[in-house]
Amino acid sequence: MHALDKKLLRDFKRLWGQSLAIALVLACGVMILLTAFGMYRALDDTLEAFYERNEFADVWAATEKAPRPLLREIAALDGVQRAEARVQEYLMLDLPGRVKSATGLALSLPDNGALPGLNVPLLRSGRLPDPQATDEVLVTEPFAQANGFVLGDTFDALLSGQKRSLKITGTALSPEFVYAIGPGTLMPDDTSFGVMWLPQAMLASAFDMSGAFNSVSLSLTRGANEPQVIDALDDLLAPYGGTGAHGRDQQASNAFIATEIKQLKNMATILPPVFFGISAFLVNMVIGRIIALERGEIGLLKALGYTDLHIAAHYVLLAGLTALLGIVIGWITGGMSARWMAAEYAQYFKFPYLIFNVSYDAYAISGFLALLTAAIGALRSAMAAATLPPAVAMSPPAPPRFKRSLFDRLLAALRLSQPSMMIWRSLFRWPLRAAMSAVGLSLAVAIMISVGFFSYSINAVSDIAFDQSNREDTVLLFAKERSLSALEDVRKLPGVEEVEGELYTPVKLRNGWREKQLSIITRGEGATLARSIDEVGHVVEANGSGLLITTRVAEVLGLRPGDQVEVEFMTGRRETYWLTVSGITEQFLGLGAYMSREAMARLTRTEPQISVANVSLDPRQDMAFNTAIKEVPMISGAVRVTDMKASFAATVDENISIMNGLFSIVAILITVGLTYNSARIQLSERARELASLRILGFSNWEVSFVLVGEIMLIAALAQPLGWLIGYGLGELMAASFSSDLYSIPMVLPPAAYARASLVVLATSFVSVMLVRRRIDRLDLVSVMKTRE
Amino acid sequence: MSETIFHTEDLVKTYHTGGTEVRALSGVDLDLYGSELTVLLGPSGSGKSTLLNILGGLDHATSGLVEFRGRDLTLLSDRELTRYRRDHVGFVFQFYNLVPSLTARENVQMVTDIAPNPMRAEEALARVGMSDRIDHFPAELSGGQQQRVAIARAIAKRPEVLLCDEPTGALDSSTGVQVLEAIRDINEDLGTTAIVITHNAAIQGMAHRVVHFQDGNISTVSTNDTRLAPSQIEW
């Protein structure tokens, strides 16, 4: 090994503290890149493979009841490759050993005993039900596992009010239900919701669908025009109660995963550059200082005949070793966290397999970027070292030039102590370095704020969604629209305290070229269980014949109160009306529009109807209520809002505390990297100055004040900028997380800022105090003798 | 008389510091010969270090001619100067300038790694009597020992010229003598042209020739008919 290489290794060893501090920041960048990129690729690859192998459809549509022969016309539409019709119904389930009801989504299997041609369930165990059987069922694997079912087990289901015992013949996974949520719920719950496949004949006879279908899915030919196909399909299905076709973008499971993939992609592109940027700055600062200290050695190397390239390479390699350390740490932790993430995803997304290719390119890219970062950071200093004329390099550097300025007069007028003066002067002597350090620290603050807001936002979401808007305990779903008298039947059920009805009417809202499919929810006047809340927290109702819309709908369609909106009804007489937007309501979960029951009845010229009943319960009669509803034929399902709220809080809390913890660690690493290195450099530059103060009779603590004071001053100055960037970053995150499925409001109380600042300031203080100990050990005599 | 190694004519070097012009060398004419041990004597600020830096290819002259074996150093690019230093010149500095993170042997290897025809590091160290401290770090050596390692490092490449800038400046008399002995031995045993800069008049006795510097120029040049052994020198 060359002597210069030995010097390199020994220098690296001597600088281990500083190198490690930089390496850890760099490792964060590498880790996040690796995790986010790896997971993004894994999800994307897996999804694509599953969709392709199992013929995931491109377009879906539901109708009330369409004759089978219509399928041939649909298949003949321009751009359609394949069309598959089925019967699809929600079933109320009565599972053995479970008081609470569960909901099943029943899909019919083709008569010929084969698998469907589209959205093909992947058989995981057992076999398909016999096409002639009336008591056999294929269920989703997670539903079976969550409820402890094995093949041959049976459970009861209400089919059109008739209780049937169904025997499980097999389990399967479906590309349509990778993320499977039950009707009206927010999160997957495999114990209370499952998808199941039953023979066409049996399902059709139970729901009066013989020779008919109520659900159709299409695959399209390459290059087909999806909106055109959707329009054509809507036209064909309109006479049969079609409720509007949609593409993959509105398919619930796919939309959720797409959102997740988008978030991972954002994470892989937004965050790593922050870490790499900070690392480059740190490397620049540290190598710059080392070169300042080694001027003599650089001159010597030149005198000995080493070339500029040799010398520049020497210092770039020193940075390279730091990068290498960061890369190794980043790769190890990145590999681990990717695996952890994969396990997390497996909880929510039900893939039959996870294509988790170790993406060597992700490793290579992250490693390359880390090396590049270090090289860029070191290059300027290394070039400066290489171009130092040897004779100059051998003589000590001129003392930094301090100039008197207006600022000095201000300092003088303030009658600051000499140590305070030293702090301020140094800040203004190297304003760029101070500013860069402050920006780095502000990013640490910002990163904490940008995830810290989540817990407050989710609380706000939960508060609006459950405590203020949806205050019912249970929502009972009716198989068909009912008249208001159905509420009286519900009221008679055990434990029911209050009951209110709502009607869901699928419509298309249009404002110019902008269009959204959603349901208008119709309520009785003065409803107290399910209500709408405006932006300032007041209860708001749709008045007159007006339409109350949610903030998201208003944004997407560009509507304001008083505007006219075109409403095309997808059911009933399928008429189109122009309605006035009477108000905006704050709603974070899902899209919505609201209308009064009377106005809707007038508009559609029908008796007032309801499709769900919201119920508040006496908690002591919970069991009796749940047992009773399983026997009521008109009820096709029940959504337990109380359970949903609890599981929402639990899931979200867990995820948020993991995120908060992770980003706190990241912020701490950035802070340590910056303050520890800054302090070390300060100390090295000022050793003589500080030793002189000691010799003049200043105490250790008075001298330490100069060092600690400057770093903490920079840290304090970084805070307001950090808050600002944090707010901006938070808004960006909130926007990137928001979709038609849910939106996240930006809620940032002072406590969120305070917490981020506290963590960063405390970490800065600890880091600088670690360096401060060196002042106690300062050898006054030798420091004064050192040439420099 | 042996061949001329260095030849300068009207050599001028001016520095600009803080708006004022400092004339470090004002028209130096000098010839230095092969295998000669020359002492450049003068007070600090008289320009002798500047001359040495220019002769060693560490610095550029402002004007005038400086030739090494008939080759004009002022015409060389930085790259060529690096080559020149690497192949022909050995330096010894007042403050030794050893790399603190390398042992004595490794400090010498820094040179043997890049020189075209070096001696072994161990041999170079043996020549300066440092064989027994070969694996010591600079911090574990006395000033005199460090300077001898520096000399070993300078001679390991078998340079044609050895340029020593105040080699005993930081040393007391007795350790300084050991360093001077090492320089004399190299000059005599290897025939290396040695140029020693000093403000210490006592040292001039060991030289073949003494060049006196004053205010950026040569005041006198004298030749020693009988040279003193370093052991006879004291300050």
Query: What DSSP character marks residue A33?
Result: H
Give the least confident one: A284-288, A390-394, A627-631, B104-108: A390-394
**Would you call A418 helix, strand, or coil by DSSP?**
helix
Angstrom distance (rounded) from CA A83 to CA A95: 34
Give the least confident one: A29-38, A750-759, B93-102: B93-102
- The full set of domains in chain B, from first to last, is 4-232 (3.40.50.300)
Residue A452's φ and ψ, nearest 5 degrees, are -60, -30
Interface contact flag, A391 B59, Cβ < 8 Å: yes
Of A3, A297, A391, the CB nearest to B113: A3
Angstrom distance (rounded) from CA A261 to CA A43: 7
Determine the pLDDT at residue A384. 84
Contact A222, A132 (CB under 8 A): no
First and final C-alpha spacing in chain A: 30
Residue spans of the domains in chain A: they are 1-58+253-397, 59-252, 430-470+643-788, 496-617
Determine the pLDDT at residue A257. 87
Interface contact flag, A307 B82, Cβ < 8 Å: yes
* Among A285, A297, A282, CA closest to A788: A297
A785 pLDDT higher than 60: no
Of B93, B99, B108, the CB nearest to A7: B99
Q: Which two tokens stand for residue A223?
A: 């290059």
pLDDT, tens digit, 9 for 90 and up, residues A605-657: 888 999 999 999 998 998 899 888 888 888 888 888 888 888 788 877 777 88
Residue of A nearest to B87 (CA): A305
pLDDT, tens digit, 9 for 90 and up, residues A278-330: 888 888 888 887 887 788 888 888 888 888 888 899 989 989 999 999 999 99
Region A99-124 average pLDDT: 91
Task: Place A781 in a pLDDT band, splitting at 50, 70 and 90.
Answer: low
Region A261-274 average pLDDT: 80
A788 pLDDT higher than 50: no
Q: Which two tokens stand for residue B137?
A: 């770090």
B contacts of A303 (beta carbons < 8 Å): 56, 58, 85, 89, 91
Sheet holding B63-68, edge to edge: B20-33, B4-17, B63-68, B71-72
In chain A, the percentage of residues whose pLDDT exceeds 70 is 96
Determine the pLDDT at residue B120. 93
A543 pLDDT higher than 50: yes
Contact B23, B216 (CB under 8 A): yes
**Would you call A627 helix, strand, or coil by DSSP?**
helix
Contact B72, B65 (CB under 8 A): yes
Question: With 0-12 CB in 10 A as exposed, 13-18 as middle and 19+ as buried, what is A239?
Answer: exposed
Give the least confident one: A108-117, A487-496, A543-552, A682-691: A682-691
A59 pLDDT higher than 90: yes
Interface contact flag, A11 B153, Cβ < 8 Å: no
In chain B, the percentage of residues whose pLDDT exceeds 90 is 48
A contacts of B78 (beta carbons < 8 Å): 308
Portion 144-163 of B in contact with A at CB < 8 A: 153, 157
Return the CATH architecture of domain A496-617.
Beta Barrel (2.40)
A501 pLDDT higher than 70: yes
A contacts of B109 (beta carbons < 8 Å): 2-3
Interface contact flag, B107 A303, Cβ < 8 Å: no
How does the average pLDDT of chain B come out, rounded? 89
Interface contact flag, B110 A296, Cβ < 8 Å: no
Bridging pattern class, strands A474-483 and A609-617: antiparallel
Cα distance from A10 to chain B (closest Cα, Å)?
A: 6
The count of residues in chain A is 788
Contact A48, A392 (CB under 8 A): no
Cα distance from B111 to chain A (closest Cα, Å)?
A: 7
B contacts of A301 (beta carbons < 8 Å): 110
A307 part of contact set with chain B, CB < 8 Å: yes
* Among A361, A360, A359, A375, CA closest to A324: A375
Task: Place A345 in a pLDDT band, splitting at 50, 70 and 90.
Answer: confident
Residue A684 or residue B38, greater confidence: B38
Within 10 Å of residue A567's Cβ, how many Cβ atoms?
Answer: 20
How does the average pLDDT of chain A come out, rounded? 87
Region B16-32 average pLDDT: 87
pLDDT, tens digit, 9 for 90 and up, residues B158-214: 899 999 988 988 788 888 898 899 899 989 998 999 999 998 899 999 999 999 999
Region A670-691 average pLDDT: 85
pLDDT, tens digit, 9 for 90 and up, residues A356-379: 776 788 889 889 999 999 999 898
B contacts of A311 (beta carbons < 8 Å): none
Task: Place A659 in a pLDDT band, splitting at 50, 70 and 90.
Answer: confident
Angstrom distance (rounded) from CA A280 to CA A11: 19
Determine the pLDDT at residue A787. 47
Contact A200, A87 (CB under 8 A): yes
The gap from C-alpha A605 to its chain's centroid, in whole angstroms, comes to: 44
Interface contact flag, A300 B102, Cβ < 8 Å: no
A199 part of contact set with chain B, CB < 8 Å: no
ipTM: 0.73
Determine the pLDDT at residue A559. 92
Determine the pLDDT at residue A457. 86
Region B97-126 average pLDDT: 87
A contacts of B82 (beta carbons < 8 Å): 302, 305-308
Determine the pLDDT at residue A452. 83
A contacts of B107 (beta carbons < 8 Å): 3
Number of H helices and number of E strands within chain B?
6, 10
Angstrom distance (rounded) from CA A770 to CA A712: 13
Angstrom distance (rounded) from CA A713 to CA A434: 10
B contacts of A394 (beta carbons < 8 Å): 58, 93, 97
Interface contact flag, B115 A6, Cβ < 8 Å: no
pLDDT, tens digit, 9 for 90 and up, residues A217-231: 999 999 999 999 999
pLDDT, tens digit, 9 for 90 and up, residues A566-577: 999 888 888 899
Contact A229, A218 (CB under 8 A): yes
Rounded to 10 degrees, the C-alpha dihedral A511/A557/A239/A109 comes to 160
Interface contact flag, B101 A302, Cβ < 8 Å: no
Within 10 Å of residue A585's Cβ, how many Cβ atoms?
Answer: 24
Contact A767, A682 (CB under 8 A): no
Determine the pLDDT at residue B103. 87
The CA distances from residue A392 to A253, A296, B18, B92, in Å, are 69, 9, 15, 16
pLDDT, tens digit, 9 for 90 and up, residues A405-460: 677 677 667 777 777 777 887 887 778 888 888 998 998 999 889 888 888 888 88
Task: Place A689 in a pLDDT band, splitting at 50, 70 and 90.
Answer: confident
**Would you call B45 helix, strand, or coil by DSSP?**
coil
**Region class of A310: left (phi > 0), else alpha (psi between -120 and 50), else beta:** alpha
A355 pLDDT higher than 80: no
pLDDT, tens digit, 9 for 90 and up, residues A545-560: 889 999 889 988 999 9
A contacts of B85 (beta carbons < 8 Å): 302-305
Of A14, A302, A304, the CB nearest to B111: A304
Highest mean pLDDT among A247-251, A425-429, B64-68: B64-68
A392 pLDDT higher than 90: no
Q: Which residues pair with A637 in a beta bridge?
A: A477
